[in-house]
Amino acid sequence: NNTGSKPHVVLLASIGMGHLIPILELGKRLSTHHNFDVTIFVVASQSSAAESQILHSAMTENLCEIVELPPVNISGLVSPDAAVGTQICVIMRAIKPALRSAISGLSFRPAALIVDLFGSEAMMVADDFDMPKYVYIPSNAWFLALTIYIPTLDKVVQGEYVDQKEPLKIPGCKAVRPEDVVDPMVDRADQHYLEYVRMSMDIPKCDGILLNIWEDLQPKTLEALRDEELLGQLCKQPSESVIYVSFGSGGTLSLEQMVELAWGLELSQQRFIWVVRAPSRKTGDGSYFTAGSGEANSMASYFPEGFLDRIGEVGLLIQDWAPQVEILSHPSVGGFISHCGWNSTLEAITNGVPVIAWPLYAEQRMNAALLTEELGVAVRPNILASEGVVGRTEIEMMIRTITVDKEATHIRNRVKKLKYSAAKSLSEGGSSYNALSLVAKKLELRWKSMEVNAS
């Protein structure tokens, strides 16, 4: 039923009913609801009667074309005692040549390849045909969050996961109790674990992930995963190339100022991430703190015409809030346009990021003066942003000063020095560490004397 008049997707189901059924369902949905031609490749196995029956009925429905790939012999590749998960991974790796030749034998050019979790390595075949690749995880967002976080856990967790005393922390998500970890994590020496780590590194290389849940089921975990996606985008940028723009938890700019900033960023030709907040009526302030002061328009209405189309891959706009600390600590970030709230100031310094100091309210003008005049890690507009509009050319110049101009190297060196000095002061025996220890000791002594007096 492939007419050639519709877009065509290719799906690959790995072995096992739990993988085959969701892929068939997804294929059917793409065909019936979204008018795609769908080809599903399945891997021939000593399929059970139930599996044959499911395949047979899917073929009879005739919604998707189902093509069985020739069986692969893995007898020399994996021990027969290996975990089922390991065996599936090995089969899906061995199937790559067959998948490649099946795709090249198609009479049409597929719009995308969709694989399931175990097919993540075979997904790379899509690159040979220059087509997008998607992973369909027939499971939930928490599992996905754990899975893509495995390379980090692998570095920081000592010993077996199941022997840990504390739950395993995953950014933005519910922690995972050691006794609840997924099967491949039970024995870190086993091939099953190595396959899982490999899988967790393959998944983020795809163009998109499909999950078998809905928004309201796991909203927090999905939010955390989307943050991860943003950081994944950052990973693709050259080091110290991205300007992060944010005016704290409450800073807003006037519409006129937002337009100038947009132009300035564009003229600078640097990559950027801008945490965008609805403009305020005043020049620049913290009016976001006062409910209802921001105009609730769509983002497009804040910017010069065509800006959103022109920025393409160069600029990323995020509405209202972004994971600032993670962004600033990312190696791709090379500058920060900041309102100089003290938290943001410290976050810039401790991550070694040069600043364009754009104070708006509170003690921020003093912080900006400290950063530029005393520490030499920032540049600042000539006029106060709270009193006028900073023009696009000046913005462009400031961005160039902290990124590509000669002066940028000096600023970077100074802020890197401060980064190391901050890290030193915070580590055991450092000045900040000792200062807080002193306070803690005093409090302890006082508490002890109160105990003695009370008894």
Indicate which residues carry an active-site annotation: 19, 116
With 0-12 / 13-18 / 19 or more C-beta atoms within 10 angstroms meaning exposed / middle / buried, residue 362 is middle
Residue 423 has a CB neighbour count (10 Å cut-off) of 12
Residue number of the CB closest to ligand UDP reads 341
Q: CB 385 → ligand UDP: shortest distance, Å? A: 14
Closest CA to 243 of 379, 408, 355, 107: 355
Q: List strands edge to edge, sheet with 271-276.
A: 315-319, 271-276, 242-246, 333-338, 355-357, 378-379
What 3-state class would DSSP assign to 12? Answer: strand
Q: CB 361 → ligand UDP: shortest distance, Å? A: 8
Residue 420 has a CB neighbour count (10 Å cut-off) of 11
Q: CB 331 → ligand UDP: shortest distance, Å? A: 18
Which residue number, 303 or 336, has a Cβ lying nearer to ligand UDP? 336
Q: CB 250 → ligand UDP: shortest distance, Å? A: 5
Given the rule CB under 6 A, which residues bind ligand UDP?
246, 248-250, 275, 321-322, 324-325, 341-344, 347
Residue 126 has a CB neighbour count (10 Å cut-off) of 24
Q: CB 299 → ligand UDP: shortest distance, Å? A: 15
With 0-12 / 13-18 / 19 or more C-beta atoms within 10 angstroms meaning exposed / middle / buried, residue 305 is exposed
Residue 279 has a CB neighbour count (10 Å cut-off) of 22
Please state whether beta strands 242-246 and 271-276 pair in parallel, antiparallel, or not at all (unpaired).
Answer: parallel
| Spatial CB neighbours of 295, under 8 Å, sequence gap ≥ 6 | 255, 278, 279
